[in-house]
Amino acid sequence: MPESFQIREEQIGLVKVFRLKGFLDAHTAPAFEAALHAKVAAGSYRLVVDGSELTYISSAGLGVFMSFIEEVREKGGDIRIGGLISKVRQVFDILGFNEIFQIFATADDAVASFDAGSNLAVEGD
């Protein structure tokens, strides 16, 4: 049986929050990609991914983030990430995603960063 993966969506102000739970791997990545694609296609460009319940991420899972980041930024938006547990955060860092994405301690911080303006510094290591 493949590990379970769930996505919950929530709208906070102008920000669309995706709360991920479980395993984001090659098997489950297409579902997340479809969810992100639907929102981007519908014009949501301020996106936050809440990773506090994400227990595992693979390269394919990270690939989903790459699929939309350029388009979203061209539209003046961003994909920001918050609440990663350290094991998952480590994968982001090893693959250099901390150089591309703004990663916050919590999803709330990530949501708040959109209100505060779009040029917040990347959280330090």
User: Least Å distance between CB 3 and other proteins?
Assistant: 9
The CB-of-76 to other proteins minimum distance in angstroms stands at: 17
Q: Which is nearer to other proteins, 88 or 111 (CB)?
A: 88
Distance of alpha carbon 47 from alpha carbon 36, whole angstroms: 9
**Cβ pair 37, 69 in contact under 8 A:** no
Q: How far is the CB of 10 from other proteins (least distance, A)?
A: 24
Cross-strand partners of 22: 5, 54
59-74 and 29-41 are packed helices; what angle lies between their axes, rounded to 10 degrees?
A: 10
SS3 118: coil
Shortest CB 34 distance to other proteins, Å: 10
Q: Which residue lies nearer to other proteins by CB, 2 or 13?
A: 2
Longest distance between any two alpha carbons in the chain, whole Å:
43
Residue (99 or 125) nearer to other proteins, CB: 99
Nearer residue to other proteins within complex by CB, 13 or 30: 30
SS3 46: strand
Residues of this chain that interact with other proteins (CB under 8 A) are 2, 25-27, 29-30, 33, 58-67, 69-70, 90-91, 94-97, 99-100
